[in-house]
Amino acid sequence: MAAAADGLSGAPSASSSTATPAPAQTAATGAADPLAGLIDIRGPAPTQPGTMADAALAGAGGIALALLVALALRPFARRPQTPEAIALAQMTAARQRGPSERASALASAFAAWAGSPGAPVRLSAPAGRAALDARFGTDWFAGPAGTRFATALYRPDPELDLDAVERQFAEIIRRGR
């Protein structure tokens, strides 16, 4: 019985002369089973602090990798444009049009920037131009240049200096609402 117990534990018994267990033979072929002599390798059981440290290390590695990816992709990210930048770009693009189309494009770009959902910009009426002057702290809209520009939106004026109008709108936009 003691020899059987020693044979199960894998330790050599006092009666055996070799340290390795005898290979088992299969009943059908009588050949030795090469896996029968193998024993399991047992390491220490995982502990809770070790598992938590591994999880923390994996989390930190994931965050670091995400930051590296974000930094690598940053030059390719499209930055959102401000309403001011959009209006200025539209006014610059309007330079490619004819005079009456350019005047209309300048007015549209400025109105899109300056307008609010409840109060659209009205350049055609003197009261609307006076309201714009009060809102932006200018006297341009109700003055002769603003009145001439408003008239040119409905009756083309080839003598109107649209570059000056664009500069005035750009100055107002850069100062802000």
Model confidence over 140-153: pLDDT tens digits? 888 998 888 888 88
Residue 75 lies in a domain: no
Residue 60 lies in a domain: no
Residue 14 lies in a domain: no
Specify the range with the lowest mean pLDDT, choosing from 6-10, 33-37, 96-100.
Answer: 6-10
Residue 91 lies in a domain: yes
For range 94-106, the mean pLDDT: 88
Residue 101 lies in a domain: yes
Q: Which pLDDT value is given to residue 61?
A: 94
Domain of residue 162, residue span: 83-175
Residue 149 lies in a domain: yes
Q: pTM score, two decimals?
A: 0.53
Measured CA angle at 141 (ends 139, 147), to 5 deg: 125
Q: How many domains does the chain have?
A: 1
Instruction: Report the length, in residues, of the chain.
Output: 177
Residue 70 lies in a domain: no
pLDDT digits (tens, 9 = 90+) for 35-74: 887 888 888 776 676 777 888 899 999 999 999 999 998 8
Residue 73 lies in a domain: no
Average pLDDT, the chain: 79
DSSP string, the chain: -HHHHHHHHTSPPTT-S-SSPPPPB-TTT-PBPTTTT------PPP-HHHHHHHHHHHHHHHHHHHHHHHHHHGGGSPPPPPHHHHHHHHHHHGGGS-HHHHHHHHHHHHHHHH-BTTB---SSSHHHHHHHHHHHT-STTTSHHHHHHHHHTTS--TT--HHHHHHHHHHHHHH--
